[in-house]
Amino acid sequence: MRRRSPAGLPGAGLVADHQVRLLQGTEELFPALITAMDAALSDIQFETYIFDFTGSGAAVAQALMRAAQRGVRVHLIVDGVGTGALPPLWADAFAAAGVHYRVYSPPGRLGLLLPYRWRRLHRKLCVVDNCLLFCGGINVLDDFHDPNHGALEAPRFDFAVQATGSLVQTASDTMEQLWWRMQAVREARQRRLPAALGSLRAAAAAKHAARQADEATSSPVRAALVLRDNVHNRSRIEKAYLRAIGAARHEVIIANAYFLPGRRLRRALVLAARRGVRVRLLLQGRYEYFMQYHAARPVYGALLDAGVEIHEYAPSFLHAKVAVIDALGDHPWATVGSSNLDPLSMLLAREANVVVEDAAFALDLRQRLVHAMQHAGHRMDPARYAGRPLRQRALDWVAFGLMRLALWAAGRRY
C-alpha cells in the first residue's frame, strides 16, 4: 500500500536521494547560484519573472555568460511583464556570449487590457546539469534595490531552496517542454514550419519524459516539486496547502507577500484556528501596490475573529511565499516556492513550489519566520483593525471590488 503523507498528498515528502537546503534572500541564493553556474559542464536552464541587472543581479548575468562562453548550453526565459525586453547592452552581451533567451508572453500593444495576457510566468527555477535545482520566490533582483522604489534600507524578505534528487528531473523536463513550445510558436510566426514542427516534437518528447519521471517517482517520497499551470496542474498548489492545513494539529505559519486567499483556503485557516491550532500569518506590512495591499484587508476580519494571528512585516518588502506546519510535531510539512496565495498565482500564473517533509528543514524555516515575527513584525490588533478609518476601509473595499471584477472579466471563480 502506498504511504500517504500527513498532508494527504502522495509523494509529498523527502526520500534518501534528496538533499534540500534552505536559502534566505539573494545574499544566500546568488552565491550558490553563481558557484553552480561556474561549475556547470553541459546545461543551465533558467526561468524567472524578473531579471534585473542592478547590483548583484549583474553578477548572475555574468555567470550565465561565462558558462555559455565555455560551451555550456544556457536557456533563459524571462516574463514579458516582469522583465520585458532586455536592456540592449545586456541583450547584445548575451547574444555574443551564446546565452539563448526568450521572453514569455510579451504584452503587445494592448498590454494587460486583454485578460489572457494575465497568465504570467511567475515561477523561479534553475536547473544546472540536470542534477541541481534552485526553486523559490526570489527573482534576479538585488535585495537592496526595488525597480519602483529605488534603494532599500533593509533587504527584501524571501526564500529559495537548493535541491538534489529525483525532483530535479521533473523540473528540467518541465522547463525543457516550455522552451520548445515557445520555440515552436516563434518559428511558426516566422513561417519556418519545418522547424516549428521539429520544436513541437521536442516539446512532446519533453512532456513524455516528464510523465515518465512522475511515474518513476510515484512511490512514497518526502519531497516534491508541485507545479501550477493552466492545463493539467490548475490547482495542485492550492490542494497541497488545503491538505496540509487540514492535517495540522499544533501550528500553522504562513509567510506570503500577496495574501488574498479564496474561500476554501480562508475556511481551512479558520477551521484550523477553531480546533485549537495556532495559526500565524506573516504578511506584507509596507505599501507596495494598491491592489495587493488594499484588496487583502477585507478578508482579515473573519481570520482575526477566529483567532488567527496576523503579523505585518515592516523593515522592507516581504516577498516570501513559504509555509511550515507542525514543525515541532511528528509530521512536519513545509513549502517554499513562487506561488502567492492570491488569485493571480492560484488561477492564472505558472508557479512552482517545493514541498518538504523533514524535521530539520521545517525547524530551520520555522525559526527564521518566528524570528521575523518577533523582531521585524507588528501583530495586528483586532480592535484596531475593526476601528480603522473610514477612508482606509473604503479603499480596501474598492480594491477588493476591482479584484473581483477582474476575476469576472477573466472568467474565473475564486
Place of cell 507577500: 257
Backbone angles phi, psi at 231, to 5 degrees: -125, -80
Q: DSSP secondary-structure letter at 23? A: E
d(CA 381, CA 341): 22
Could you tell me which of 211, 160, 201 has the C-alpha nearest to residue 181?
A: 201
Strands (E), 303-402: 309-313, 321-325, 333-337, 351-356, 377-379
Q: Can you tell me whether residue 309 is helix, strand or coil?
A: strand
Active centre residues (catalytic): 122, 124, 129, 319, 321, 326
Cell of 35: 558557484
DSSP tag of 13:
B
- Do 224 and 354 form a contact (C-beta atoms < 8 A)? yes
Do the Cβ atoms of 172 and 130 come closer than 8 Å? yes
Concatenating the DSSP letter of every residue in 154-216 gives: S--B-EEEEEESTHHHHHHHHHHHHHHHHHHHHHHHTT-HHHHHHHHHHHHHHHHHHHHHHHH
- The answer to whether 284 and 312 are in contact (CB under 8 A) is yes
Q: What is the DSSP letter of 82?
A: T
Task: Work out the number of other CB atoms within 10 angstroms of the CB of residue 281.
Answer: 24
Question: DSSP assignment of 55-97, as one string?
Answer: TTHHHHHHHHHHHHHTT-EEEEEEETTTT-SPPHHHHHHHHHH
